[in-house]
Amino acid sequence: MISLLKKLTETASPSGYESGIREVIRAEIKSLSTNIKVDALGSLIVTMGKKTDKGLRIMVAAHMDEIGVIVSHVEKSGLVRFSNLGTLFPQYLPGSRVVFLNGVHGVINHDLPDDLHKVVTQDKQFIDVGASSDKDCPVKIGDVGVFDRSFVELGKRVTAKSLDDRVSCAVMIESMKKIKNSPHELVFVFSTQEEVQSKGATTAAYEIEPDLAIALDVTPSLDIYGIKMQVDLGKGPAIKVRDVGMLSDPRLVRWMEETANKNKIPYQLEVLDLGTTDAKVMQISKAGMPTGALSIPCRYVHSPSEVVDLDDVQGTVDLLSALLNNPIFLK
């Protein structure tokens, strides 16, 4: 899966500009289904199989957008002021490099702070693209970019920008390859604009009207900070119980736990006090649906160098494919 992760994470596609990553994913899954379409918000929707008497229509979503920057002002000096696409943490920005979709590279830094020991807020930061004035600046207001950081292997762990949520896209692709004679109609959604209020999953769920929904995303692994009630890197996929946007259906939590235990897949339970996923909007689409989520532990979320453990990634593939390949009896 390493080559797939490298290909996905090194593709630049921030929220609202997902066409690049969409075509990369389409090329990976085109042989797996004859029912592939793109909806009005740009989400890639892939349907596999038909619903049988023992089956359900199941929506599985992983978002393909990533956090980014957007030019808000160009100063006379040529320095570029910027706003955010998705949540940017100011402590990660100074010294980071970005690449705009038009190919222009730049480095982020900030105005001289009053206190060198304090984090400088984003509104005091700028992107230096090498321009000497606003006249020769190669970007303009509205141009967008992403972190410029390559994929690197760290033993059985890997680091890259946009592992949130390209790692879940990889999990979904690999799980699709393992589907054999599922009794369900499976609708896989590579959703858009999750980082800006889950817009793609909102419209996709409304159209699909699934009987059951599962979101795939990363979750912060804060084990190195000694913070309790968080998941650890390397201890398996996390079955979400609750985050700030949704409560998982308890029947789905039990079903996921029982499936993991039956297949001897290590797992963790997740109660998250920061952030949410596409599951939030899927759960309340139209008349609502039973919804759960699988999370991949990730260090340094929303930074230029996120880190995941490949055992956790493979465990998520194993658990998701086991869930989808068999009849479902919620209790």
Neighbours of 232 (CB within 10 A): 15
Mean of pLDDT values over 50-57: 90
Phi and psi torsions of 163, nearest 5°: -60, -30
The pLDDT score that the predictor gives to residue 52 is 87
Convert the pLDDT of each residue in 198-235 to its tens digit. Answer: 999 999 999 999 999 999 999 999 877 766 667 999 99
> What confidence category does residue 194 fall into, taking pLDDT thresholds of 50, 70 and 90?
very high
The pLDDT score that the predictor gives to residue 115 is 87
pTM (2 decimals)?
Answer: 0.95
pLDDT above 90: residue 236: yes
Q: Would you give the distance in Å from CA 316 to the centre of its chain? A: 14
What percentage of the chain has pLDDT greater than the value 90? 91
Residue 53 in contact with residue 276, Cβ under 8 Å?
no
Ramachandran class of 121: left when φ > 0, alpha when ψ lies in -120 to 50, beta otherwise: beta
The pLDDT score that the predictor gives to residue 274 is 86
The pLDDT score that the predictor gives to residue 172 is 98
Convert the pLDDT of each residue in 244-254 to its tens digit. Answer: 999 999 999 99
The pLDDT score that the predictor gives to residue 113 is 87
3-state DSSP call for residue 94?
A: coil
What percentage of the chain has pLDDT greater than the value 70? 99
The pLDDT score that the predictor gives to residue 116 is 84
Convert the pLDDT of each residue in 54-100 to its tens digit. Answer: 899 999 999 999 999 999 999 999 999 999 999 999 999 999 999 99
All domains of the chain, ordered by start, with CATH? 2-66+161-324 (3.40.630.10), 68-147 (2.40.30.40)
Convert the pLDDT of each residue in 17-34 to its tens digit. Answer: 999 999 999 999 999 999
66 DSSP 8-state letter: B
As a whole number of angstroms, the distance between CA 215 and CA 280 comes to 9
The pLDDT score that the predictor gives to residue 228 is 66
Average pLDDT, rounded, for the chain? 96
Residues labelled catalytic? 194
The pLDDT score that the predictor gives to residue 317 is 98
128 sits in which H/E element: strand 125-128
- 140-168 burial: b if 16+ Cβ within 10 Å, else e: eeebbbbbbbebeeeeebbbbbbbbbbbb
Strand-pair partners of 127: 80, 108
The pLDDT score that the predictor gives to residue 84 is 97
Mean of pLDDT values over 281-299: 97
The pLDDT score that the predictor gives to residue 265 is 98
Phi and psi torsions of 35, nearest 5°: -115, 85
Give the CA angle between residues 64, 16, 19 to the nearest 5°.
Answer: 60
Convert the pLDDT of each residue in 118-153 to its tens digit. Answer: 999 999 999 999 999 999 999 999 999 999 999 999
Sheet holding 238-242, edge to edge: 35-38, 44-48, 185-191, 57-63, 212-220, 291-298, 238-242, 268-271
pLDDT above 80: residue 270: yes
